């Protein structure tokens, strides 16, 4: 999986006054969990642009001023309810031999014939929970829709891989092609018109039989 480098410095003080001073200087207070000790550090707010404001998923390589480097994943983030600025970020440290769970985006491949024939594409799950070693985490999962006709679907079982585990039941529908509502309404209307026509023909036949008997 691709990573974003975050350069920061350890925080000597973690009190409210120090935290407010950091934010006023356009710095984001952060905490790194999961290692032998919890590490408090701060980094420039702009350093998180490509990590936070993106539909893609990345791991983070945290480089501190004292030369320490940590691989991590973003675990939690807090935004200001007024300005939407980042207030605080929690990271979780990665280790090569320890499994990690992340939500991985799903990308569609191809064009569905069912959509070209008037169907509606329903993209039910745009991200899937995946568990793997850090080195085996994919950047994204690919759902091939090039053979989907109306009524067809792609399930989790079709996206599995030996290198990772998808934490959803195999029959979970990721994407499918449904009959469009307009097509269903049209079919119902046509059916009703057909029934009315048959009734009319029946009445006409009865009238003809009655005339013949007279």
Quick check: 152 and 122 in contact, CB under 8 A?
no
Which segment, 141-145, 189-193, 204-208, is predicted with the most confidence on average? Answer: 141-145
Burial of 120 (0-12, 13-18, 19+ CB in 10 A): middle
Residue 191 has pLDDT above 90, yes or no: no
- Under a CB-based contact definition with an 8 Å cutoff, are residues 144 and 170 in contact? no
pLDDT digits (tens, 9 = 90+) for 114-162: 999 999 999 999 999 999 999 999 999 999 999 999 999 999 999 999 9
When pLDDT is cut at 50, 70 and 90, the band that residue 193 belongs to is low
Assess whether pLDDT exceeds 80 at residue 8: yes
Are 139 and 162 in contact by the 8 Å Cβ rule? The answer is no
- Rg of the chain over Cα atoms, rounded to whole angstroms, equals 29
How many whole angstroms separate alpha carbon 29 and alpha carbon 36?
20
For the segment 46-52, the average pLDDT, to the nearest whole number, is 94
Structural domains present in the chain: 3-94 (2.40.240.10), 101-181 (2.170.120.20)
Q: In this model, does residue 195 exceed pLDDT 70? A: no
| Cβ-proximal residues to 107 (8 Å cutoff; 6+ apart), any chain | 140, 141, 142, 143
Write the secondary structure of the chain as one string of H (helix), E (strand) and C (coil): CCEEEEEEEECCCCCHHHHHHHHHCCEEEEEEECCCCCEEEEEEHHHHHHHHCCCCCCEEEEEECCCCEEEEEEEEEEECCCCCCEEEEEEEECCCCCCEEEEEEEEEECCCHHHHCCEEEEECCCEEEEEECHHHCCCCEEEECCCCCCCCEEEHHHCCECCEEECCCCCCEEEEEEECHHHHHHHHHHHHHHHHHHHHHHHHHHHHHHHHHC
**Rounded average pLDDT over 50-62:** 94
- Cα(113)–Cα(111) distance, integer angstroms: 6
Say what the pTM is.
Answer: 0.77
- Residue 15 vs residue 51, higher pLDDT: 51
């Amino acid at each position: 999986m691709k990573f974003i480098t975050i350069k920061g410095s350890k925080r000597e003080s973690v009190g409210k006054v120090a935290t407010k001073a950091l934010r006023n200087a356009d710095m984001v207070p952060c905490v790194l969990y999961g290692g032998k000790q919890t590490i408090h550090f701060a980094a420039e707010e702009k350093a998180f642009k490509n990590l936070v404001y993106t539909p893609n998923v990345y791991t983070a390589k945290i480089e501190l001023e004292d030369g320490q480097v940590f691989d991590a994943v973003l675990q939690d983030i807090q935004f200001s309810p007024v300005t939407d600025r980042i207030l605080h970020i929690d990271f979780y440290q990665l280790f090569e031999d320890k499994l990690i769970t992340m939500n991985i985006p799903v990308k569609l491949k191809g064009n569905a014939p069912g959509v070209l024939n008037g169907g509606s594409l329903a993209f039910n799950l745009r991200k899937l929970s995946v568990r793997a070693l850090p080195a085996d985490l994919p950047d994204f999962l690919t759902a091939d829709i090039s053979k989907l006709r109306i009524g067809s679907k792609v399930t989790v079982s079709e996206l599995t891989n030996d290198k990772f585990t998808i934490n959803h039941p195999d029959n979970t529908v990721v994407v499918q092609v449904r009959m469009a509502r307009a097509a269903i309404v049209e079919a119902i209307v046509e059916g009703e018109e057909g029934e009315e026509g048959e009734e009319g023909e029946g009445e006409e036949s009865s009238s003809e039989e009655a005339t013949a008997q007279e």
